[in-house]
């Protein structure tokens, strides 16, 4: 039987996992590393309380299915994490265990039982999106007499035009925006995937005016800076959007009944492209979806398209009969 002393310790494995496997071999993004790091910080703090071992003294065999399940339950019960957050943490742990299984074969039975823990299923609500009129009301809300208002109108117009994520838009540099000839924006997307999105003529004109106002700045400078000249933050964008939704609600009161975040713009762009007849594969490229399955969620959310499809299908003429279970067992099953 292999001697465990010949295998690296859990602490060494975890350090190699981050510094060699994730950073050098897989070259994952800094955001992924930060998310995985936070998972193990939470897990090791929980393990210290649960099994009484300091993080440096934890062994790979301690990460059994019982400890991991207790940790996942802790996330949901005590930290109020939803199933989606729970699954993200579990994915990080699984990734490490897959790596560890190649470096410590003596721990394989424990690792295999831990890897058998399933992702938790959850109800996926329909995507919420804005109508074109509601979107226009929000884009018209910024005060054009103020510098921040002109910046915000350019920012949110670009967000709607491109369907970009908040992180993608606040990370835009001056060199990423092409306003000569065929105007477009080069977006550095999720998972280090780059895509180019064309601009409507109205969007290009708005961005040209904003670019002239910014003056002569370096190509590496933020295209949408704050007053300090650095990139806007997520919280900054969310705060500004809330102001404009409140103002737009004076014309469109139904906005107050909706939960609107910057990501709602992305959903709205996809839905408006879909409703305009754009092929779903093109929308996937437009949004930078890794899998077309993600884009199919918008088909589920568009009730108007379903109604048009239903109108083309004539109902069958059927008589109404009542189903009667043939025996007691079938009655029991029917009543469940």
The answer to whether 188 touches 312, Cβ cutoff 8 Å, is: no
Could you give the strand order of the β-sheet that contains 194-198, starting from the edge strand earlier in sequence? 177-178, 184-188, 194-198
Asked whether the beta carbons of 255 and 134 are under 8 A apart, the reply is yes
Residue 324, SS3 per DSSP = coil
Cα separation of 201 and 205, whole Å? 6
Catalytic status, residue 323: no
User: Tokens 């989606």 belong to which residue?
Assistant: 84
Active site residue 266: yes
Catalytic residue among 89, 266, 267, 272: 266
Catalytic choice (17, 99, 244, 298): 298
CA distance linking residue 93 with residue 65, whole number of Å: 11
* List of residues 6+ apart from 106 with CB closer than 8 A: 1, 2, 4, 7
Annotated active-site residue 79? The verdict is: no
Q: Is 132 among the residues known to form the active site?
A: no
CA distance 318 to 305: 26
298 is catalytic: yes
Bridge partners of 186, per DSSP, are: 196
Q: Which position among 53, 150, 173, 263 bears the catalytic label?
A: 263
Contacts of 25 (CB under 8 A, 6+ apart): none
Is the distance from CB of 158 to CB of 169 less than 8 angstroms? yes
Active-site hit among 86, 240, 252, 289: 289
Neighbours of 330 (CB within 10 A): 12
Is 258 marked active-site? no
Closest CA to 262 of 248, 287, 281, 242: 242
* Active-site residue identified among 190, 195, 211, 251: 190
Catalytic hit among 21, 86, 165, 272:
165
List, by residue number, the catalytic residues.
165, 190, 263, 266, 289, 298
């Amino acid at each position: 039987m292999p001697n465990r002393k010949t295998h690296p310790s859990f602490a060494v494995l975890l350090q190699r996992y981050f510094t060699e496997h994730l950073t050098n071999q897989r070259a994952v993004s800094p955001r992924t590393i930060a998310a995985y790091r936070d998972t193990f910080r939470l897990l090791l703090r929980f393990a210290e309380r649960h099994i009484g071992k300091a993080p440096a003294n934890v062994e790979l065999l301690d990460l059994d299915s019982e400890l991991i399940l207790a940790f996942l339950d802790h996330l949901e019960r005590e930290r109020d994490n939803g199933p989606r957050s729970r699954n993200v943490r579990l994915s990080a742990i699984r990734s490490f265990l897959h790596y560890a299984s190649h470096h410590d074969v003596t721990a394989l039975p424990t690792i295999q039982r831990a890897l058998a823990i399933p992702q938790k299923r959850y109800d996926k609500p329909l995507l919420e999106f804005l109508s074109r009129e509601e979107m226009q009301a929000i884009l018209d809300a910024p005060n054009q007499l103020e510098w921040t208002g002109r910046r915000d109108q350019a920012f949110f117009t670009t967000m709607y035009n491109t369907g970009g994520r908040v992180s993608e838009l606040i990370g835009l540099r001056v060199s990423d925006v092409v306003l000569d000839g065929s105007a477009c924006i080069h977006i550095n997307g999720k998972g280090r995937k780059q895509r180019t999105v064309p601009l409507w003529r109205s969007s290009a004109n708005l961005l040209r005016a904003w670019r002239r106002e910014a003056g002569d700045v370096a190509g590496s400078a933020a295209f949408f800076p704050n007053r300090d000249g650095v990139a806007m933050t997520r919280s900054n964008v969310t705060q500004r959007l809330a102001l404009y939704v409140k103002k737009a609600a004076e014309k469109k009161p139904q906005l107050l009944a909706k939960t609107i975040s910057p990501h709602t713009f992305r959903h709205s762009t996809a839905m408006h492209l879909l409703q305009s007849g754009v092929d779903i594969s093109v929308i996937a490229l437009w949004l930078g979806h890794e899998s077309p399955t993600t884009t199919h969620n918008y088909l589920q959310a568009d009730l108007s398209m379903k109604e048009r499809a239903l109108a083309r299908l004539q109902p069958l003429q059927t008589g109404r009969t009542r189903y009667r279970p043939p025996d007691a067992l079938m009655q029991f099953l029917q009543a469940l």
